[in-house]
Structure 1
Amino acid sequence: MKKIAWLILFLFTAKIISAQCDNEFKLVDAEKSDTLRYKKYRRLQDCYYKTDDFEGAAKVFKKQKALASTLIKKYSDSVYYRSYLADQTTFYFYKGDVQKCLDISNELLNYDLRKADSSDIAGSFGNIAILYRKLGNYPKAIYYLQESIKINEAIGRKELAGNYSNLANVYSDLGQNEKSGELFRKALKLRLEQKDEKGLALSYANMANYFSNINKDDSAIVYYSKAIYMNEKLGVPDSRKALTYNNFTGEYIKKNQLDSAEKYLKITEKLLNEKSNPFMLSHFYENKGDILKRKRKFQEAINEYNKSVKYADLNNDISRLVTLYYSKSLCFYGLKNIDSTFNNRLKAEVFKDSLFNTTKSSQITRYEMQYQFDKEQEVIKSEQLKKELETKNALERKQLLIYAAMIALVLLLGLVVLVLKNNRQKKKDNLVLQQKNDLIESQKKDIIDSINYAKNLQQAILPPITKIKQELGDSFIYYKPKDIIAGDFYWLYKTKETVLFAVADCTGHGVPGALVSVVCSNALDTAVKEYNLTDPGKILDKTREIVLETFSKTSQNVKDGMDISLCSIQRNNNSITIKWAGANNSLWYIHNNEIKELTANKQPIGLSEHSKPFTTQTLDLINGDTLYFSTDGYYDQFGGDKVGASGKKFMRKRLSQLFFEMKDLSTEGQLALIDKTFSNWKGRLEQIDDVCIAGIKL
């Protein structure tokens, strides 16, 4: 049983499917722009083709035809001319008028040859070959496919696999199965290399057709199953699915497994309707007739064959008509109607003679021999086309320059008038704009002066670095506000026996963060000075109490506060006792050539749902050990090498590694390395938060 070539429908199938074609039609008519309306008509036609609604497509084509004439006249030999020719070939192909489609395809080929676009020329050759195959003119089908293959081989186009498949289908029609199989395998290999899933679905179906033709039915069923799987995966239109199931049904008919054949025939029927492509409808009714014939229901089979003949006639599908009239003659023979048996057998022979005549075999041989000669002549043709194209382009450029000069002169005159007319108004506008800019600059200066004054106030709560080194010894502070003033701060207090030190991160940055930092710094002072607390956990408890009391004076539910790492350092000869507590911020320390981390309580100094007392942890360290404090601004900074526009975070793990790597440097060297690492990581990206890191070498 003859299989319909998959690539025919694939090349002429549109790319957009819409279930709302009629509603879109009304919206398209309302579009005022001619060019946009034309593009929407093209998409709408695709919609109707995909739903097999040819009447809808014809309605759109009528309007598109009138609009195309307007655009072609307006833009001369433009892209709209080629688009309209291509749209006509699609329309007449779906209409079933293969000869009309061929005439317009030849006109399109001539246009492509004038434009010398290799890709378009190859496509036109390939489409014309498909049409000649449908008309049963196999010599010309082979010739045009060879022309398409030559171009696609030269420019390395993906469509080369489609050329191989189409040429294989021609040889399959001619009964040259060995050559057909070789080309089908070549196409399948190429599509596997290209990972072309849509093409693979077609190649699987073609391989199934090939195995069916050489009566390897089990292999055919395997490849049809692969094609069905790919169709479902890709979500192809119902028309494509119906094509597969049509062929699948035929395979089970050949194996005389009529239950399976009827099962897939019913699936096919659900995917088709009276507006479906005539090729598929003809194939469907032929399958239905074949099942009834094998069940010896001859009259019912004849009725289905007659339906198939109607659609085959509509498309001038000669090869299918040969098969159908042979099948009808067998049914009439089964009904013992000798006259009808003879008449249908005679019709089959007549169509068979028209399909295969004595001259075609010699023509095929001649075209194959001429293929090599044409290849040698291609260079000469290419040079001639190139010279013609250069001459034409030169004339077009000259004409374009003349038009451009005229248009430029008109525009220049108009521009002079417009400039003179608007010059006076621009002077007035510029005066008003300058006054506004002066006001903005004055306000900006006042704001910056205020912030700089606030910076001086904030500096008052930060202990001088000389004081820190005096009390803590060998140490450093890396302090880098995001803006002029910051929400991060560091804090120091000396008691008789211990030194208290902290690094804190208050909510926000800039002015809001600085205001919160003043509140939190004062709260720490109060907890130590007025309540005489030295235990870090109890200091944090009391600080939280003071901060909450301060913010409770407002009627709003303020959630501002701070994260902090606080320790007390008590020196006893060679041993050093560290007591530490933290709110969200950890403490890193290096002891015995290892870096370790004390984890803070997961709660802030401020309002939280489940507040608990802060935990004081104790360490016994020795001289030479090092403590590190850090807010989250350093390890949350975005940046890095070979990342996208937004970068990636520095991360806590990388900061811990940095602390360990720099442990043997002097504190001045550590400070320089921290600054260099941060700058290199940030690169051109913006600093996202305040940064504060402190290091103390005991």
Structure 2
Amino acid sequence: MPDAAAASYLQDYRPRFRQPSAGDLCIDVPAIGTDQNNEQVMEVFTRHRELMSLPVVEGGQPIGLINRNIFLSQMSRPFHREIYNRKSCIAFMDKEPLVVDAGMAIEELTQRAVAFGEKALTDGFIITRDGVFAGVGQGLPLMRVVADMQEARNRQVMHSIEYASVIQRSMLRTSREALAQTRLDADLVWEPRDVVGGDFYQFSAMPEGWFATVADCTGHGVPGAFMTLIASITLSKAIEQHGPRDPARLLSSVNRSIKQMLGQVDGQDETPGSDDGMDAACFWFDAAKRQLCFAGAKTALFLLHPGQAGVEMIDGERKGVGYVDSDIDFAWTNRCVPLQPGSLVFVTTDGLIDQIGGPKAIAFGKRRIRELLLAQRERPTADINRALLDALQAWQGPHHRRDDLSFFCFRV
């Protein structure tokens, strides 16, 4: 939000409402002392499965945070428990977490969190009172408070949403640029239903192959955009931790992170009204083997080999990522498919498949996608996607667009 718009917004807001502060976001969580070891850290994380980060204190003052996922990943390595169990808990501690006073205003806290980087939103931040540890704050409640404050004035809300669209598109730009720089015959369509959307994509190329994701998060508009931020960041962290070659493992890692972040653990919704997650398709293409490794969460793959009479469909698991009913240890499956020169691959979120239209007001469906892919199989992928968009627009007619729209078409 531009400074002038922010100033106008706050001038209208402050006389009518008490300004929330960091203390309103403070959550009472366990803390651990520097004299305690990693075995005791493991016991705390085992007892508190919803705990994303464990504060470390010394003399009542916070000195660091232990990230749950990083800690468990390190301790699961061969012989690491034997080596580190009896060592001090500071071995895996982030020594420079964001620390704020409980009296800090939300506006200043938001600016500090953004300047501090994405770990302040994913790992959380420490809150103190008069320099003494009081608890932790988390990125999602902070974003919710900011959203509530924005909604107090509709004009400012719309202004911020338009600016959020710029931010969301900027987040996706790196992947688009990476795709454009490859020699791959590929085309990507991303059209949010509203100003911002709940779909996102990622693409990255390496000498030995490339990785791509097309995902549909819960909701659309502002809630959907918040979920894309959460899902995209957790996916990036999973790729940093595990690498891009095992899409199924990445989905499992994101599933675990989203459930812990949103308190959707053990089949229970610890945050009333929260049952959020994403459907997604993740790919790793091995250039040397000319093999596509695919893992899907309630998302299917359309595949058409040269000379093939019909479009083959490869289904993903019928389980979404992060939702209340998704087990925290659910394991997705990689489906590895050898591709021939000229093989055409297509994947879409349900915004295309479920769009209502036609004379009987029914869904566009998968059959029409298969028919169009067959009819357009010899054309460049950009032309194929344009033909799909034209067919969808004709099918939709006067009906309202139901969902965000994202699909990815490529030929090897």
Q: TM-score range by the shorter chain?
A: 0.5 to 0.7
> Of residues 280, 286, 302 in structure 2, which corresponds to 1:570?
286
| Secondary structure of the structure 2 residue equivalent to 1:672 | helix
Which ranges in structure 1 are unaligned for 5 or more consecutive residues?
A: 1-441
Residue of structure 2 in register with 1:667 after alignment: 381
For the residue of structure 2 that corresponds to 1:460, the secondary structure is: helix
After the TM superposition, which residues 315-330 of structure 1 pair with which residues of structure 2 at under 5 Å, given as runs?
Answer: none
SS at match of 1:613: coil
Are residues 498 and 623 of structure 1, via their aligned partners in 2, closer, same or farther at CA, if it must alter by over 3 Å? same
Q: 1:472 to 1:551 in 2, by over 3 A?
A: farther
Residue identity opposite 1:638 in structure 2: I
1:191-243 CA distance string (max 9 Å, x none): xxxxxxxxxxxxxxxxxxxxxxxxxxxxxxxxxxxxxxxxxxxxxxxxxxxxx
Q: 1:358-413: CA deviations, max 9, x gaps? A: xxxxxxxxxxxxxxxxxxxxxxxxxxxxxxxxxxxxxxxxxxxxxxxxxxxxxxxx
* Counterpart position of 1:606: 322
Q: Which residue of 2 aligns with 1:633?
A: 351
Identity %: 24
Distance across 2 between alignment mates of 1:670 and 1:495: 26
Deviations 1:559-617 (Å, cap 9, x if unpaired)?
10000011101112xx5111110000011111133321111101011134363310001
Q: Report the AA paired with residue 626 of structure 1.
A: L
Residues 1:587 and 2:301 aligned together: yes
What code does the residue aligned with 1:639 have?
Answer: G
| Aligned match of 1:380 | none
| Aligned counterpart in structure 2 of residue 624 of structure 1, from 342, 363, 379 | 342
Q: Distance in 1 between matches of 2:238 and 2:357?
A: 39
Asked whether the equivalents of residues 564 and 582 of structure 1 are also in contact (C-alpha less than 8 Å), the reply is yes
* 8 A Cα contact 2:198 2:216, kept in partner: yes
Report the CA distance shift for 1:519/1:591 in structure 2 as closer, same or farther (over 3 A).
same
- Counterpart for residue 499 of structure 1: 210
Q: Which residue in the other structure is 1:656 paired with?
A: 370
Which of residues 239, 243, 262 is equivalent to 1:551?
A: 262
Question: 2:121 is matched with which residue?
Answer: none
- Provide the C-alpha distance between the structure 1 equivalents of 2:153 and 2:307, rounded to a whole number of angstroms: 55
The answer (yes or no) to whether the contact 1:472–1:696 under 8 Å persists in 2 is: no
- Counterpart in 1 of 2:74? none
Answer yes or no: is the 8 Å Cα contact 1:502–1:564 preserved in 2.
yes
Is the Cα contact below 8 Å between 2:259 and 2:324 reproduced in 1?
no
Change (3 A) 1:665 1:502: same
One-letter code of the match for 1:551? Answer: L
Is the Cα contact below 8 Å between 2:306 and 2:342 reproduced in 1?
Answer: no
Amino acid at match of 2:408: A
Match of 1:471 in 2: 182
Map Cα deviations across residues 158-206 of structure 1 (whole Å, 9 max, x no partner): xxxxxxxxxxxxxxxxxxxxxxxxxxxxxxxxxxxxxxxxxxxxxxxxx
Which amino acid letter does the alignment assign opposite residue 262 of structure 2? F
Paired positions, count: 251
1:108-133 Cα offsets, whole Å, 9 max, x none, are xxxxxxxxxxxxxxxxxxxxxxxxxx
* Separation in structure 2 between the aligned mates of residue 471 and residue 581 of structure 1, nearest angstrom: 23
The answer as to 2:253 corresponding to 1:542 is yes
Find the counterpart in structure 2 of residue 560 from structure 1: 276
Task: Sort the Cα spacing of 1:502 and 1:467 in 2 relative to 1 into closer, same or farther, 3 A.
Answer: same
Q: CA deviation at 1:548?
A: 1.3
| 672 and 695 in structure 1: CA distance in 2 versus 1, 3 angstrom threshold | same
Q: What is the TM-score with the length of structure 2 in the denominator? A: 0.58
Give the 3-state SS of the residue equivalent to 2:339 in structure 1. Answer: strand
Deviation at 1:655, TM superposition (A): 1.6
Deviation, structure 1 residue 472: 6.1
Q: Which has the higher contact order (CA 8 A, sep 6+)?
A: 2
- Farther off after superposition, 470-479 or 611-620: 470-479
- 2:160 aligned residue: 450
Q: Secondary structure at the match of 1:597?
A: strand
Q: What is the Cα deviation at residue 538 of structure 1?
A: 0.8
Could you say what secondary structure the match of 1:454 adopts?
helix
Match of 1:689 among 392, 396, 403: 403
For the Cα contact (< 8 Å) 2:217–2:224, is it kept in 1? yes
Matched residues in 1 for 2:319 and 2:325: separation?
9
Q: 1:695 to 1:472 in 2, by over 3 A?
A: farther
Contact 1:536 1:581 in 2 (8 A): yes
Measured against aligned partners, the alpha-carbon deviations of 1:430-477 in whole angstroms (never above 9, x if no partner) come to xxxxxxxxxxxx944322211111111211321353421323611111
- Which one-letter code corresponds to 1:671 in the other structure? N
Structure having the higher Rg: 1
Assess if the C-alpha contact under 8 Å between 1:472 and 1:499 holds in 2. Answer: no
Find the counterpart in structure 2 of residue 481 from structure 1. 192
Could you tell me whether the CA contact under 8 Å between 1:583 and 1:604 is conserved in 2?
Answer: yes
How far 1:495 moved relative to its partner?
4.2
Counterpart for residue 5 of structure 1: none
Return the alpha-carbon distance in structure 2 between the equivalents of residues 683 and 487 of structure 1: 23
In the superposition, relative to structure 1, how do residues 474 and 656 fare at CA in structure 2: closer, same or farther (>3 Å)? same
Give, as a single letter, the amino acid of the residue that structure 2 aligns with 1:679: Q
Q: Distance in 2 between matches of 1:609 and 1:482?
A: 27
> In the alignment, which residue of structure 2 is the partner of 1:358?
none
Deviation at 1:541, TM superposition (A): 0.8
**In structure 2, what is the Cα distance between the partners aligned to 1:495 and 1:520?**
22
Report SS of the residue matched to 2:407.
Answer: strand
Q: Which amino acid aligns with 2:335?
A: Q
What amino acid is aligned across from residue 317 of structure 2 in structure 1?
N
CA drift of 1:627 comes to 1.1
Comparing both structures, which one devotes a greater share of its residues to strand?
A: 2
SS of residue paired to 1:461: helix
Preserved contact between residue 451 and residue 484 of structure 1 (Cα < 8 Å): yes
Q: 1:474-493: CA deviations, max 9, x gaps?
A: 11112121101110111113
How many angstroms does 1:693 deviate by? 0.9
Task: Judge which range, 550-559 or 674-683, deviates more.
Answer: 550-559
| TM-score normalized by the length of structure 1 | 0.35
Name the structure where helix makes up a greater proportion of residues: 1
For 2:301, give the aligned amino acid: L
In structure 2, relative to structure 1, the CA distance for the partners of 1:668 and 1:496 (3 Å cut) is closer
CA distance in 1, matches of 2:180, 2:225: 24
